[in-house]
Amino acid sequence: MKYEKKIFKCILKVLTPIHIGCDEVYEPMGFVVDEKEHNLIVFDPLDFVAQMDTEDKKKYSEICSKGSIDSILEMYKFLRGKKVSGRNIKLCSGFIKHYEKNLNIEIRNIKQELNSFKIERTSFLSNDERPYIPGSSIKGSLRTAYLNDRQKIKKERKTNDSKELGQRLLNYRNFEEDPFRLVKISDFMPIGKVNTKIVYAVNKKKNPNKNLSKGLPQILEIIDSGSIFQGEIAIEQPQGNVIKEPINLQKLLKSSLDFYSKERNRENRDLKNLRIEVINTNWNQNVIPLRVGRHSGAESMTIEDHRNIKIMTGRDSKPKFQDSSTTLWLVSESKSELINLQPFGWAELEELTQEQLQDIKHKKEEYINRVEQANKFNREKIIENPPEPKPPVVEAKTEIWEKAPLLWTPNNQTITASFQDKKAIVKGKELVPDSYKKTLFDKRKTVTAKVTVEHEGNSFKIIKVE
């Protein structure tokens, strides 16, 4: 079947911090906290180990091999003050105080405190580590707005079955008839350098007489305000009557303008009630608001007249359900002192003009040049300061570890094998047989395999997996 396609090329501007989860965290053995510059420096553990002296390699390997909650604290103390090169991420003002407190926690509180110190990463591109906005996040936001628009027209009876409600509002029975099947949205790619930051997400009651709710603060990497991304929205119009009520691009964008403008006004009233500064926006048909990512607010993710938001009433009480939430998740510079509070997830779409296209091209070239200059500087530094001659190469000794557990760490793309009291690592997925890949990489579960390793000083490297 042939389709006619309507394409909307656009840019997305981030108005308030956005976090889009990717099920990854920054591992303690992969970053150093620069307390002076307030930066988190993320490094490659393999490169880091290669630069260590023999004594530090041994200590680092010993801590890694423990794999206990206590060893995480040991790792923080071992890495503190170490000079490393890597990717810098700005830290919010309260993070350093939290970090220093954790370095001195009592043994009995280690598990609770360190579990709350988990740093969740936002979605990123594997080739250059820059953040991006998945097309699925944009599509989910537009679908919510469109369903709200259809509800205003059709006024469907209240139901808690979201799937059934969507089918009634869009007039379809199965996947083939779903009009959103023909809405194709690309991932939105970063333009130039896009800044991220480590912040706290705090849960505050809307009642100004209350302080924090019982929701524990979270540490998240966010895409900072002012960041710009490029992508496109395409709607295919089928020939025939497969789709009973096809989606029109202009109506889709208009529904987003209407719904999220209303939601922004509602949220602004809540923020003003809490004496939190709000950003005034003048959205029109040329600038389309969206709400994406985690903590975007229950009201912005549900259909009006069908909201059934769970409200916890107490530790031992059953939850109740109502049409609006009693709390807001907000960005904060600290987990306990509420500083520079902002809402999560606001962005806006704007059609890509020729002038903006030229500006984007310039920013991309500028970014590429900056990366090339940095690489050139590193190469020249190596030439000016050549490494000391390495000792003569000796034949590597190998071992075979039968039934060794394998663990995949996606954050630094490494595989770790354990055998008795020894550990071996390798970067990448190439050595793993196909029969293990789904369990190890997709499900992220441990597998047991026959592993051949070779000595590298006081450590081991995986060279074969069977």
26: containing domain: 21-122
- 164 lies in the same domain as 253: yes
Distance separating alpha carbons of residues 163 and 159, to the nearest angstrom: 10
Per-residue model confidence as pLDDT tens digits over 276-320:
888 777 787 789 999 999 999 888 998 888 876 555 445 444 555
C-alpha 225 chain-centroid distance: 15
Same domain for 185 and 268: yes
Residue 462 structure tokens: 């995986």
Considering the domain architecture, whether residues 285 and 186 belong to the same structural domain is answered as yes
Residue 371: how many CB atoms within 10 A of its CB?
12
Which one of 122, 155, 188 terminates a domain?
A: 122
Using 70 as the pLDDT threshold, list the residues of the chain that sit under it: 1-5, 107, 109, 210-215, 308-324, 361-396, 411, 456-458
Together in a domain, 286 and 434: no
Do the domain assignments include residue 94? yes
Note the pLDDT of residue 322: 58
Domain boundary among 122, 142, 171: 122
Q: Is 271 in the same domain as 162?
A: yes
pLDDT of 82 reads 84
* Residue at which a domain ends, from 352, 386, 414: 352
Tens of pLDDT, residue by residue over 353-397, are 877 777 776 666 666 666 566 555 554 544 455 544 444 444 557
Please indicate, yes or no, whether residues 66 and 113 belong to a single structural domain of this protein.
Answer: yes
Q: Are residues 151 and 290 in the same domain?
A: yes
Tokens standing for residue 48: 């880091």
**pLDDT of res. 88:** 93
Tokens coding 365: 């070239």
Q: What is the dihedral of CA 122, 198, 261, 265, to 10 degrees?
A: 150
Q: Looking at the structure, do residues 136 and 220 belong to the same domain, yes or no?
A: yes
* The pLDDT value given to residue 370: 63
| Claim to verify: residue 85 and residue 141 sit in the same structural domain | no
Residue 391 falls inside a structural domain: no
- Residue 367 pLDDT: 62
Residues 183 and 332 in one domain: yes
For residue 390, tell me if it sits in a domain: no
Residues 434-463: tens digit of each pLDDT? 889 888 888 888 899 999 988 766 678 898
Residues 338 and 456 in one domain: no
Extract long-range pairs of 56-61: CB within 8 Å, 24+ residues apart: 57/457, 57/458, 57/459, 58/458, 60/29, 61/423, 61/458, 61/459
Same domain, 321 and 414: no
384 assigned to some structural domain: no
| Number of structural domains found in the chain | 3
> pTM for this structure?
0.74
